Chains A and B, each alone.
Chain A
Amino acid sequence: MGTTLEPRSKRVARFVRERFPIEKLDAQSMIVKKEVPLHKMSWAYYMGGLALFFLLVQIVTGLLLLFYYQPTVSDAHASVATISEHISGGAWIRNLHAWSASAMILTVIVHLFTTFAMKAFAAPRELTWVSGMSLALLVFAFGFTGYLLPWNQIAVNATKVGLQSVEAIGQYLPGELARWPIYVRETIQGEPSVGQATLSRFFAIHVIVLPLLTVGALGVHLLQVQIHGMSRGVDALKVKTEKFFPFFVIKDLSVWGVAFFVVAVVAMCLPFDAFLPYPLLEPYNPLGSTPDGIKPEWYFFFVYYPLELLPYWAVIAGSTVVGGALFLAPWIFARTTRRTLTVLAVAGALYFVVITLFGHAIYEALKGGTP
């Protein structure tokens, strides 16, 4: 160790000071002076804003749904049906909530891949990246908890299966520890099987807990983006820039306008059920058999099909490694070139697209047929 090394306390202080430079915490540096690079990947700079826009749509439509939704086992399904059938504009609001949720998750995934490929996490933007990863997890948590709320046959059974897979980890734990995953699952559920307690807490998590956490993480994320500006994103030494305000802001808002138009029209014409074989009109019946071929929403396919096809430990190990590497990317990939990162991102995106579009066909090919 050389003498140039600072003591740990000073290093921490410097890290924080560089991430939150007090002299830059004003409108002058955060808005007026901010510039956005112009190059062939510039379209990726719109992804984060677009995800934010879809989140705003979710908040507004979610609040409207809250006016009529009733989170009880006996009334949840009927209240959703009432929103769809008897409230003026209700079907559109609900469709918008469903479509915009999918659009938000898709945008977040594209945002993740593009910022990774552009090495946007490099110092001093580590906190932007980590808060962004947390937001990505929150978005998936929103999807999982929101899915249960209509309390229909497919939703309840899919949630049961999803939670039950937590339990499978028990087979690798020794002795009394093997029972712990069961306690974890029952704690999440709030009772031995999925029922009213589960619905109540999933509702609370979806409507209060996750939004609050999201506001926190998003605050850090946006503050960091505005303080440090957009990352340059490409290897070229000289890139043209445009002013963030007003040019980029207006363009960003135009993209939002187009996105809203598209989602609004889609929500008006196509009920979200069009892509799922199970209509809403099938309330959960605890005495019935589980419907055939239940599947989670498309955005969980990337983890669902591996769970179906590979040994459980392999999936757990793989996702721990990938998830950990993603969270710690600013430190793990600090010296990696953009070219390599782009290759990794393209490979990841390719995997995601293939498993999402063809997961079922792959599953049928490998596991199909009656034994």
Chain B
Amino acid sequence: MIDSFLLVFLLVGLPYVAVLGCIAGSIWRFRSARFSYSALSSQFLEDKSLVLGSLPWHLGIFVVLAGHAVAFLIPRVWAGLVSNPGFLWTVEAIGLAASVLALIGLTTLLVRRLTSGRVQAVTTPIDLTVLALLLAQVVLGILVAVQHSFGAAWATGTVSPYLWSLATLRPNPALVSDLPPLVQAHMALAWVLVLLIPFSRLVHIFSIPIAYLWRAPQLVVWANPRRFQGVEAAVLVPARRYFLRGVAAISVGGALLAAGTAGTFGRFFFGPRPSEKEQTKLDQEKLTRLRQTQREKELTLERARQRYIKIAKVKDLDTKKGRYFIDYEMRAALAFLGDDGLPLFISAKCTHLGCTVASDLDAQGRVLCPCHVSYFDIKTGMPNAGAPAKDPLPHIAWVLMDAKGDVVMRRGADGRTHGDLAPDQAALCDVYIAKREESV
């Protein structure tokens, strides 16, 4: 009972207390001590290990927090992205690398706070508390990442909806109550840190000195003549050294890149070495493609040699769903069964830009060209008013042959039918297209 009560407090009570406390505290601090609304700089007192600590820490924690924020702000997009294993692995690797970077920086900062006499002169208890809590939080985060890896993926179904439930004032702790204690501890400590923001140097999160990034550099020097000589000497560093350093950096980077990828790209030239199973699949696909090419060649040859080409049995044609076939000009065409029980052949090549129209009739007896949305009435071939296509789809001539191979009926491209046959008799026939000089 105590356990579950504590859990509910940590998962629901603490977040609200933390956020409200953070807001109220920030307002209080801004009103009571506006000029302390940032972090007290100790760069004057010690700057060497500050750079070695502060830079990695801020870089690392920024990347880590950005990753956390993205998963919270766009959970659906994020879930889609991390479903790709390559992306997930990359995110995990970047996250882990950044948190290790943050850990190194934070440790350096803590050691600096504890060992530099000058810095200690301006260190308050809350500074040390915050540093220790941050260190604990980063360690917890790394442990979570190592022990329960792929947090980028599982958090989208647990932590993200939980945070949204808090943000929308419908808290649902059940979403995260079954997570491992390690994860819950990481979450609880996060709320404590949020609460501490206005009461510590963390308040500088709200007054980020972003302008530092592009303002002109301000070189602070003591009013000591020897210092000025040093600055001038630095300006005179020969351009050659600058160039050599740059070239060296680029070469080392390139060499590292080449070394790291040598295995993969050496094998690029080794060629595909698929397993036997994969090879079978590849061969199968290749055969399918060759057959298709062969089929196209056969179609061309057939059209060159044959006076008539069989399209279908009349009884296999449908009134609603067209069958694609290739006409004598090697263009796509559609075969329907007309309302009169006779075949209806129409070109499937859109008269607008030559796309192939779809084969299903809509309720008004029209086919759709999907490219620019023209509807063609198959009876008349006419496009709908206002369609991008202006010209009608032409009808295609056909002939009917009975079982003995005698032509019993034919229709010209102009739509005129020659011969007379009852629909039930026509259904027994085969329908052909005829070479141009044969069609009337």
| Residues of A in contact with B (beta carbons under 8 Å apart) | 64, 67-68, 73-75, 77-78, 81-82, 86-90, 92-93, 157, 160-161, 164-165, 168, 192-193, 243, 245-247, 249-250, 253-254, 257, 265, 268-270, 274, 283, 285-294, 308, 367, 370-371
Bound together, the chains give a CA A147 to CA B154 distance in angstroms of 37
Across the interface, do A160 and B354 meet the contact criterion of CB distance under 8 Å?
yes
Q: Is B358 an interface residue (CB 8 A)?
A: yes
Across the interface, do B355 and A253 meet the contact criterion of CB distance under 8 Å?
no
Q: Which of chain A's residues have a CB closer than 8 A to the CB of B5? A: none
Interface-centre pick from A161, A285, A287 (highest chain B CB count, 10 A): A287
Partner of B239, one of A243, A257, A293: A243
Across the interface, do A283 and B264 meet the contact criterion of CB distance under 8 Å?
no
Across the interface, do A371 and B384 meet the contact criterion of CB distance under 8 Å?
yes
In the complex, the chain A residue whose C-beta lies closest to that of B384 is A371
Bound together, the chains give a CA A87 to CA B84 distance in angstroms of 20
Across the interface, do A250 and B84 meet the contact criterion of CB distance under 8 Å?
no
Interface residues as binary, B348-364 with A (CB distance below 8 Å gives 1, 0 otherwise)? 10000111111100000
Across the interface, do A89 and B239 meet the contact criterion of CB distance under 8 Å?
no
Q: Is B365 an interface residue (CB 8 A)?
A: no
Across the interface, do B356 and A289 meet the contact criterion of CB distance under 8 Å?
yes
Across the interface, do B326 and A287 meet the contact criterion of CB distance under 8 Å?
yes
Bound together, the chains give a CA A118 to CA B293 distance in angstroms of 54
Across the interface, do B90 and A250 meet the contact criterion of CB distance under 8 Å?
no
Across the interface, do B290 and A269 meet the contact criterion of CB distance under 8 Å?
no
Partner of A75, one of B87, B246, B289: B289
Bound together, the chains give a CA A248 to CA B202 distance in angstroms of 38
Across the interface, do B359 and A250 meet the contact criterion of CB distance under 8 Å?
no
Bound together, the chains give a CA A269 to CA B94 distance in angstroms of 12
Across the interface, do B371 and A289 meet the contact criterion of CB distance under 8 Å?
no
Across the interface, do B84 and A86 meet the contact criterion of CB distance under 8 Å?
no
Known pairs A291-B370, A371-B386; A164 contacts B354 (CB<8 A): yes
In the complex, the chain A residue whose C-beta lies closest to that of B367 is A289
Interface residues as binary, B279-300 with A (CB distance below 8 Å gives 1, 0 otherwise)? 0001001100110110010000
Across the interface, do B356 and A283 meet the contact criterion of CB distance under 8 Å?
no
Bound together, the chains give a CA A160 to CA B253 distance in angstroms of 45
Q: Which of chain A's residues have a CB closer than 8 A to the CB of B289? A: 74-75, 77-78, 283
Bound together, the chains give a CA A347 to CA B246 distance in angstroms of 39
Known pairs A74-B289, A74-B292, A293-B370; A88 contacts B87 (CB<8 A): no
Bound together, the chains give a CA A93 to CA B357 distance in angstroms of 36
Known pairs A89-B264, A288-B356; A367 contacts B373 (CB<8 A): yes
Across the interface, do A287 and B371 meet the contact criterion of CB distance under 8 Å?
no
Across the interface, do B278 and A88 meet the contact criterion of CB distance under 8 Å?
no
Bound together, the chains give a CA A289 to CA B384 distance in angstroms of 20
Known pairs A78-B286, A257-B253, A289-B356; A269 contacts B272 (CB<8 A): no
Across the interface, do A64 and B272 meet the contact criterion of CB distance under 8 Å?
no
Bound together, the chains give a CA A254 to CA B348 distance in angstroms of 55
Bound together, the chains give a CA A250 to CA B245 distance in angstroms of 9
Q: Is B274 an interface residue (CB 8 A)?
A: yes
Q: Which of chain A's residues have a CB closer than 8 A to the CB of B247? A: 250
Q: Which of chain A's residues have a CB closer than 8 A to the CB of B292? A: 74, 285
Tell me which residues from 266 to 316 in chain B have a Cβ below 8 Å from any Cβ of chain A.
Answer: 266-274, 278, 282, 285-286, 289-290, 292-293, 296
Bound together, the chains give a CA A367 to CA B86 distance in angstroms of 39
Tell me which residues from 51 to 88 in chain B have a Cβ below 8 Å from any Cβ of chain A.
Answer: 84, 86-87
Across the interface, do A161 and B353 meet the contact criterion of CB distance under 8 Å?
yes
Known pairs A75-B286, A290-B370; A86 contacts B278 (CB<8 A): yes
In the complex, the chain B residue whose C-beta lies closest to that of A265 is B90
Partner of B355, one of A192, A243, A290: A290
B26 CB to nearest chain A CB (Å): 34
A63 CB to nearest chain B CB (Å): 11
Q: Is B265 an interface residue (CB 8 A)?
A: yes
Across the interface, do A88 and B267 meet the contact criterion of CB distance under 8 Å?
yes
Bound together, the chains give a CA A245 to CA B239 distance in angstroms of 9
Q: Which of chain B's residues have a CB closer than 8 A to the CB of A73? A: 293
